[in-house]
Amino acid sequence: MEKNMINNQARASLIQLLGRKRYSESMEDRISYSYDATRQRKIPDAVVFPENVTEVSKIMKIATAHRIPVVPRGSGSGLTGGTLPVKGGIIMVMNHFNHIVEIDQENLLVIVEPAVINAELQREVEKVGLFYPPDPASMDFCSIGGNIAENAGGMKAVKYGVTRDYVMGLEVVLPDGQIVHTGSKCIKDVVGYNLTQVFVGSEGTLGIITQAILRLLPQPESKKTMTAAFESMTIASKTVSDIIKNRIIPTTIEFMDRNAIHAVESKFHLGLPKGIGALLLIEVDGDMDQIDKQARQIHEVCRSNQTIEFRTAKTDSEREELWKARRTIPASMLKIKPLRLNEDIVVPRARLPEIIEAINRIAEKYNLIIVNFGHAGDGNVHVNVLMEDEAEEIKRAHHAVEDIFVATIALEGRISGEHGIGVTKREFIGLELGPAELFLSAQLKRLLDPGNILNPGKIFPDELLSRNKK
């Protein structure tokens, strides 16, 4: 049994601060917060439930004094193990930080706490005609704090960008308990370094976000949704490039490859076209005249690339029907194989056909079924390597993932587009970052967290942080 990281003095201090209801070492609570969407499990030594930034600060001061690891946790929906307490210690559950503090309609911004659910924020700002674009597939249950920590993207990223493009300022508690405020409500702000972006995408390893200022946009007047079926993923990928070349920037361009289409149709029988190699889901938004023109242009581009079938939703219910195929992919894959490795590589948009071809070769090499879908408009591919629960096939699947990462880097891509690195990809980070970049990153971590207590064991291999000690 691993040693408990919390000594009697630290325990007494935490109970005095939080009371026995918000400090727990019960096995029930420890198991409840021991896993995330990776399905891996690491049992923490304790779970704490702070209610305000002062308590977060005091918890971190106690943890620093006693060298206790602390892992901040939102909804636990991450796919790379970012909230797993791999070094034991404390899970800091942020679910009391669930308030939308202010919707500022004059300045087009919102001040929000980290436990607010993405979809809840979307609904609230839409009530006043505003729009928060980042929309991860998990938006119904993922939290804004987690979105910021992972720099989450979503289906609208091709037109509107990702989370970092909307974070104007942050309130952050550092590992030593200091409370810092970065950025401001101002659109223009070049006072000092851009510390806000240091914390965006840092996966909870540099500070604990307790409040955020987010930029909003006016809500688009209307939207139009279309699907286009093609003989192959290569033709579909070329169509995506042709749409962008024509200076059309859709809100969304999602894709499904042959295996994804087969999985969805086998389980849900949605009436997708038979014998196709790829399906694009395309959405445009804006003024009615503008989107009608864009829809006609997109149809023409798809037609010039020999689309097998092109459909346009005429009502909200038809739009929802077109989206159903894309949303049911994850559940559909379980019908084919019980286990999967879910990766989210990204390449420059024009190289999408090349990475799909490379993945197909790797699937053939290892005799595996690989399902690809994702965000064609920004080159982000969700690669799902399916496998039986048997050691030999699991081993081949992991080898395939490594080959896919190597192929991605060779095509000027990145091993993660929106899921982060966490624990599942950290052994591969050296494929992407060189010695100078790794050294600088390690120095930044050591500057802000010299004791390595905040979410340790994430992003970088342990030996890197040790090797760069001076």
Residue that is last in its domain, among 93, 124, 144:
93
Q: What is the CATH number of the domain that holds 60?
A: 3.30.43.10
The reply to whether 406 and 310 lie within a common domain is: no
Q: Which amino acid is at 5?
A: M
Q: Are 322 and 315 in contact (CB under 8 A)?
A: no
Residue 273 lies in a domain: yes
Question: Per-residue pLDDT tens for 364-398?
Answer: 999 999 999 999 999 999 999 999 999 999 999 99
Tell me the pLDDT band of 462, cut-offs 50, 70 and 90.
confident
| DSSP track, 15-36 | HHHH-TTSEE--HHHHHHTSB-
123 falls within a domain: yes
Q: What is the pLDDT of residues 109-163, one digit of tens each?
A: 999 999 999 999 999 999 999 999 999 989 999 999 999 999 999 999 999 999 9
Report yes or no on 423 lying in a domain. Answer: no
With 70 as the cut, is the pLDDT of residue 322 above it? yes
- Phi–psi pair at 315, nearest 5 degrees: -135, 170
Mean pLDDT of 326-333: 90
CA separation for the pair 367, 393 (Å, rounded): 9
What's the pLDDT at 334? 86
Mean pLDDT across the chain = 95
CATH code where residue 242 lies:
3.30.70.3450
Question: What's the whole-model pTM score?
Answer: 0.95
pLDDT-derived band at 468 (thresholds 50, 70, 90) equals: low
Q: Using one digit for the tens of pLDDT, what is the confidence trace for 405-429?
A: 999 999 999 999 999 999 999 999 9
Boundary residue ending a domain (218, 236, 271): 218
Total domains present in the chain: 5
Same domain, 200 and 141: yes
Q: What angle do CA 198, 73, 252 make, to 5 degrees?
A: 65
Residues 209 and 263 in one domain: no
Residue 254 in domain: yes
Indicate whether 276 belongs to any domain: yes
3-state secondary structure of 222: strand
Tell me, yes or no, whether 76 lies in a domain: yes
Same domain, 37 and 69: yes
| Domain co-membership, 112 together with 190 | yes
Q: At what angle do helices 258-268 and 316-327 cross, to 10 degrees?
A: 110
Write down which residue in 283, 299, 328 finishes a domain: 328
Q: Residue 469 pLDDT > 60, yes or no?
A: no
Domain that holds residue 457: 433-467
State the DSSP string of 403-434: HHHHHHHHTT-BS-SSS--TTTSGGGGGGTS-
**427 falls within a domain:** no
Q: Are residues 89 and 125 in the same domain?
A: no
- What SS3 state is found at 280? strand
**CATH code, 349:** 3.30.70.2740
Residue 3: inside a domain: no
Residue with tokens 């050691």: 391
What is the distance between the alpha carbons of residues 282 and 298, in angstroms, rounded to a whole number? 9
